[in-house]
Amino acid sequence: MLRHRRTSCRLTAQLRGTLARAARAPHCERWSHEVEMSVQNPREENMDAIDRRAFMKAAAVGGIAFSICGAQGPLTEARAQGAPLRSAAWPNRRLLDLLKIEHPIVQAPMGGHVSPNMPVAVSGAGGLGSFPCALLTPAQVLDEVPKIRTQTPKPINLNFFCHAAPQRHEAIESAWRQRLAPYYAEFGVDPPASPTRTLGPFGEEMCDVVIELKPEVVSFHFGLPNKSLIDRLKAAGCKIFSSATTVTEARWLEDHGADAVIAQGIEAGGHRGMFLTNEPASQVGTLALVPQVVDAVRVPVVAAGGIADGRGIAAALALGASAVQMGTAYLLCPEARISTYHRAALKSAGDNLSVITNVLTGRPARVFMNRIARELGPLATGVPSFPLPGAALAPLRAKAESQDSAGFSALYAGQAAALGRELPAGELTLKLAAEALQRLGMLGRAS
């Protein structure tokens, strides 16, 4: 019994400050009083159960419920008047404070699919807008990014690939073109010549451009560039993000200078960010990956993969993530640069299977199932190194699309594509934030 009394005293002391803060929130006075009474007047024979309940309620209050209670009035008013949502309501502010943004929503940088207007809208709404630069030349980056900067002073993210330069094996490339020969014959196109130049990784020239532009965040896929480049970016004031698909990769990123880790679950659309393994079987779902990464690293964790609405955001935050990264959810926005085939596939996503395949680019990527993935993959052996297969498929893709077929096109999409909505990117960001805050409030009240 003495142990029970000591536990109760400790809990009471720990809870006083939280309860006092809660009592000042306009919608929480009654709940705060009830918990205070349960801590002050417990029945000794049921002390352990009461302590557990009080602790769970206090944890929910400190992390979610009281912050939500304090925001319910402003949230309702913001909905009615179109005013910005209060960022103070979010339970985890690590990334918000790091970047000085209002909502823990990162719009994913989807290569080739994002116009400059998308990050303008997302950042303007309080999230972190991202612009993909991996497929652009330094001159193109210098031309595109100022279009964003002139429209918003808010933080932005520029994204790059840091893959290893492809190893050229003429025998493998020739054998791959031979496997495609029946398709070349069917469509009446000539096989392309072996490319003399390929997509290069982030290097010195691009680093010079980024330092000139000074984005608040520079993010990478497929690991990180060498230390000298990271040091230069950090010296220019840029925060460094990168994707991890395993706990081992997350630890590696933190050890090599990442300021935040994007935990990319296997549900995510687009290329897998894997860089310490080539084995797709090693990949983990978001629900299992995020809490393990949160426990393994000290930097903020951004959850990615299968998150498309407020429910997913709330779930990710409950798992310990500081923010979420969402890509497929933004592909139906008017600011997205996608083909009519891609848009049609997204609109009928409930009937379309997404798969991870390597036959389109040479690296595992989640796309809507199409003819080439079904007939040669989804995961094939003897595929040339990334990004060489794309060049071999280029004439087939062009010819098929001229005949209204996406059988050879990479239509990237995550497993939550069916939850997508056709809304402007800024409006979608605000709606996602409101949905997540509402869901977090429900979780807080339930606890």
Q: Mean pLDDT across the stretch 322-339? A: 98
Contacts of 48 (CB under 8 A, 6+ apart): 4, 7
Among 353, 410, 354, smallest CA distance to 113 is for: 410
**313, 105 Cβ separation under 8 angstroms:** yes
The CA distance from 349 to 69, in Å, is 36
Among 379, 375, 370, smallest CA distance to 401 is for: 370
List domains and CATH numbers for the chain.
2-81 (no CATH), 93-165+200-333+422-446 (3.20.20.70), 170-188+337-402 (no CATH)
Q: Mean pLDDT across the stretch 288-312? A: 98
169: number of Cβ within 10 Å? 13
> What pLDDT does 71 receive?
41
Confidence of residue 142 (pLDDT cuts 50, 70, 90): very high
Q: Mean pLDDT across the stretch 48-76? A: 39
**416, 346 Cβ separation under 8 angstroms:** no
Instruction: State the amino acid at position 3 in one-letter form.
Output: R
Mean pLDDT (the chain, rounded): 85
Confidence of residue 11 (pLDDT cuts 50, 70, 90): very low
> What pLDDT does 56 receive?
38
pLDDT digits (tens, 9 = 90+) for 216-232: 999 999 999 999 999 99
Confidence of residue 86 (pLDDT cuts 50, 70, 90): low
The CA distance from 39 to 37, in Å, is 5
pLDDT digits (tens, 9 = 90+) for 371-389: 999 999 999 999 999 999 9
Query: In angstroms, what CA-CA distances link 415 with 77, 307, 362, 369, 435?
Result: 34, 9, 21, 12, 20
Supply the pTM of this predicted model: 0.82
Quote the tokens at residue 372: 């080439």
> What pLDDT does 84 receive?
54
The phi-psi region of residue 160 (left if phi > 0; otherwise alpha if psi is between -120 and 50; otherwise beta) is: beta
Confidence of residue 194 (pLDDT cuts 50, 70, 90): confident
> What pLDDT does 187 receive?
98
pLDDT digits (tens, 9 = 90+) for 250-280: 999 999 999 999 999 999 999 999 999 999 9
Contacts of 323 (CB under 8 A, 6+ apart): 92, 95, 96, 104, 105, 106, 128, 300, 302, 303
Q: Mean pLDDT across the stretch 186-206? A: 92
The larger pLDDT score, comparing residue 253 to residue 26, is at: 253
Q: Mean pLDDT across the stretch 199-208? A: 96
How are beta strands 239-244 and 323-326 bridged, if at all?
Answer: unpaired
> What pLDDT does 42 receive?
37
